Amino acid sequence: MPGAEADIVGIGLATLDQIGVGPRSRDSAAELETFSIQAGGPTGTALAAASAFGARTRYFARLGDDEFGRLIQSRLRSFGVDTSSTLMEPGRLSPVTFVMIEEDGGRRYTRYTRGDTTPLVPADIPRDLIESARILYVDAEMVEVQIAAAERARAAGVKVVVGIRRMSPGVGELLGLADAVIASERVAAEMAHSGDIERAVRDLHQMGPELAVITLGADGAIGFDGTALCRQTALPVRVVDVTGAGSVFRGAFTYSLLRAWPLGRALSFASAAAGLNCQSLGGQQGIPTLEATERARAIAA
């Protein structure tokens, strides 16, 4: 397998994000005040964040051999993410996301395409890719192949972290293979069939993971490790854009697992990272440094 061993191997979705900020207008055409092109996606951004903090990360998926795919890889590599195992498929379109933000009020509109690459199957996963890692990170966006990857990880003693931003078939089976789950509030409520957030995080824990975390946006996060229930407030910041903040939280929390930090410290670190990220446009442009995140965490504690 190319490259050195990784702390975290991520199998999931990475996209090319095109983000514009402009006026609210009914005109058929309006000029943007700000425009940015960044890599994005739940796994791409989580790995970029963990890599920025010092973890050795590797991304695996299939992208189109197009300009979008090449940009996704180059932007991830700029954070130190190893993309050498990524499969490139000729003549296919890579995933692309368009985000439009109104400059007055910050209302966001998101449109995306997953592209048209051939879906991954378990046989595509390179030999030893997972077994040489410390953590496997998956995003529940391609559940069939991620279940197979998680089974391999469990057999090899590699921890499995599942980040879930939306429901999809097979998520329950994936959770049964997870050591830790980080779910959005909406997903947790759907899975637990309850709007009671404390009950929901306990229910997620009972589905298999040793550690369950629910992100709550502006209300912070909550976690349960089977013994202690821990709540964390959000970092108070002036929000510019929330694109990718959840993915940065998940990447920061996964990095915390590498450091074997206790739940409270991991939650405060991840919340600080996500909060700082909201001060910039896009998910990856605003990923903070380890030092900045630790300072913010200490001030907020």
Which tens digit of pLDDT belongs to each residue from 72-81? 999 999 999 9
Which secondary-structure segment (H or E) carries 19?
strand 15-22
Whole-model pTM: value is 0.94
In-domain check, residue 154: yes
Residue 50 has pLDDT above 50, yes or no: yes
Residue 4: its pLDDT value, please? 53
Residue 245: its pLDDT value, please? 95
pLDDT digits (tens, 9 = 90+) for 22-43: 988 888 888 998 999 999 999 9
The total number of residues written for the chain in this structure: 301
Percent of the chain topping pLDDT 70:
98
In-domain check, residue 72: yes
In-domain check, residue 99: no
CATH number for the domain that contains residue 243: 3.40.1190.20
Do 50 and 252 touch, CB atoms closer than 8 A? Answer: yes
Q: What is the residue range of 252's domain?
A: 8-14+42-85+118-300
Three-class SS state of 142: coil
In-domain check, residue 28: no
Residue 146 has pLDDT above 80, yes or no: yes
For residues 85 and 125, give the distance between their C-alpha atoms in angstroms, rounded to a whole number. 9
In-domain check, residue 112: no
Three-class SS state of 99: strand
* Region for residue 72 given its phi and psi (left: phi exceeds 0; alpha: psi -120 to 50; beta: otherwise): alpha
Residue 274: its pLDDT value, please? 97
For the four alpha carbons of 167, 173, 174 and 176, in that order, the dihedral sign comes to positive
pLDDT digits (tens, 9 = 90+) for 200-226: 999 999 999 999 999 999 999 999 999
Residue 105: its pLDDT value, please? 67
300: amino acid identity, one letter = A
In-domain check, residue 104: no
Q: Tell me the two tokens of residue 210.
A: 């040793």
Residue 191: its pLDDT value, please? 86
Number of domains in the chain: 1
One-character DSSP codes across 32-96: -SEEEEEEESHHHHHHHHHHHTT--EEEE-EEESSHHHHHHHHHHHHTT-B-TT-EEETT-PPPE
pLDDT digits (tens, 9 = 90+) for 247-266: 999 999 999 999 999 999 99
Residue 2: its pLDDT value, please? 43
pLDDT digits (tens, 9 = 90+) for 100-121: 998 876 688 899 999 999 999 9
Residue 190 has pLDDT above 80, yes or no: yes
Residue 84 has pLDDT above 60, yes or no: yes
In terms of Cβ atoms closer than 10 Å to its own Cβ (0-12, 13-18, 19+), residue 264 is middle
